[in-house]
Amino acid sequence: MKNLLFFFAVLFISCSANAQKPTKEDITKALKSSWEKAATLQEPKKTITINEIKFGSSATASTTQQFEGVPKGTMVTNAKIDFTQNLFYSDGTQHTRRIMTAWIYKDAFGDWAVKNNGTAYPAK
């Protein structure tokens, strides 16, 4: 009986931990929701193209991450996101490649969030 109870406890913890890990689609959706914008009178249309996403380690939010707005007890996954920002002007399109290091986590509303920790602009 103890072994059966232990098995279900391990299974539950394992499933819960896996549920907290983001997928490439989760990150893409979160980035697009914050970066992509329709054109306005003052700003051009903005889109992004994801080039590559590399996952790093995952751990419960640290005190520093909580200070930065990550909810306490949240699983945070480190990621390196290579993407291109596209700005559509009337006379052409500007493409800016960026490589962002970020924390990926579920925010207070249960949605995936991307917190930028640093961005590099690689040479063309």
Whole-structure pTM value: 0.79
- The DSSP 8-state label assigned to residue 37 in this structure reads B
Find the range with the poorest average confidence among 2-6, 55-59, 72-76. Answer: 2-6
Tens-digit pLDDT profile for residues 34-43: 999 999 999 9
- Which one, of 33, 47, 50, 29, lies nearest residue 98 by Cα? 50
Tens-digit pLDDT profile for residues 70-122: 999 999 999 999 999 999 999 999 999 999 999 999 999 999 999 999 998 88
User: Phi then psi for 90, rounded to 5 degrees?
Assistant: -65, -25
Domain limits, the chain = 2-120
